[in-house]
Every structure is written in structure tokens, then in C-alpha cells.
Amino acid sequence: MIVPIAKSMDVLFEEQEGIKVTPLLTSSAQSWGEVNLEDDNIQKQEDDREGPLVIAASIEKQISDKNNPGLKNAKIFVSGSAAFLSDEILSYSLGNANKDFFMNVIGWMTDQEEIITISPKNIAREVLIISPVQQIVFMLLLFLGVPLIVFILGGVVWIKRRHL
């Protein structure tokens, strides 16, 4: 996934008083969080936060009401960047991972788990582009070189067997 200009968040607890917090997106271990945003230096500084950093999380609260048993759980999605859904990012996101992720979050939040999917990878067709000179060389090797090698090997075997 591509998540530009993401702000990290701290997960203070995983489960407490019926509230469950689940980190959904984390940065790599080689990343860091800039603390001083006024500094133009893009190198890691001593006071910067070490990766991996949580970029998106889900929060779910168990709701129990004896008078209304049909109540569903409260669900919240929090992201450190809304730019992962911008047209620019969606146009070159590999396999539409950003769009799939967000649609799966919506499916989870609306309790429509049947629409939560993992899209298959697009099989890219690789085209071999060769020059006309390369075409001639490959054709000569295939139609003359291979039969010539078979003919020579056959002659060597024939000569060795004849002298036995």
C-alpha cells in the first residue's frame, strides 16, 4: 500500500472495558516519525520516533443492552492519512491495494463481511522486444545451429561405433 504523508498514532491499549483497538497498518522497521516538522532535514534525527509506527487502526466497542438485544458493536476506523485515497495515489497503487483496503474497512464497519475480499493479482503480460538483427541471429541458431549440432554429435557417435 502507498500511504503518503502519514501521521503515526500511539495505541495506548489493545483491549480495555469492552473496547478493542487493532493496528491495521504499520510502517516498516526502517521508517521513523519526524518530531520536528519545521526542520528541512530529511535524515533521521536523534529525537525522531523509531519504526514500525501505527498508521491506521480499528476500534470496536462491545455494546450490550438488555432492553435492546439487536444492538450492534460500535466500530471506528482511524487513519493517519486521507491521502491514500486520493486520485493520484489510486491511479498507480499496485493492484488497487489502497482501494481494496478501504472497501474492506467499509465492509467491516457495516457488518457486511461477505464483501471483504482480497483481489487477485493482475497477471502482467511480458512482451519480448527484439531488433531485426536479433531475430535473424535467433532464427539462424534455431534452424541451422541446433540441427548442425545434432548432425555433428551423430557423426561423432557413428565414427566411434564404427571403430569399435
CA distance 66 to 113: 26
Which band of pLDDT confidence, cut at 50, 70 and 90, is reported for residue 68? confident
pLDDT of residue 58: 92
CA distance 86 to 84: 6
Which band of pLDDT confidence, cut at 50, 70 and 90, is reported for residue 150? very high
CA distance 15 to 23: 12
Ranking 27-36, 94-103, 107-116, 153-162 by mean pLDDT, the lowest is: 94-103
pLDDT of residue 93: 54
Does residue 85 carry a pLDDT above 70?
yes
Q: Is the peptide bond before 52 cis (omega within 30 degrees of 0)?
A: yes
Gap between the terminal Cα atoms of the chain: 69
Which band of pLDDT confidence, cut at 50, 70 and 90, is reported for residue 32? confident
Ranking 33-37, 75-79, 93-97 by mean pLDDT, the lowest is: 93-97
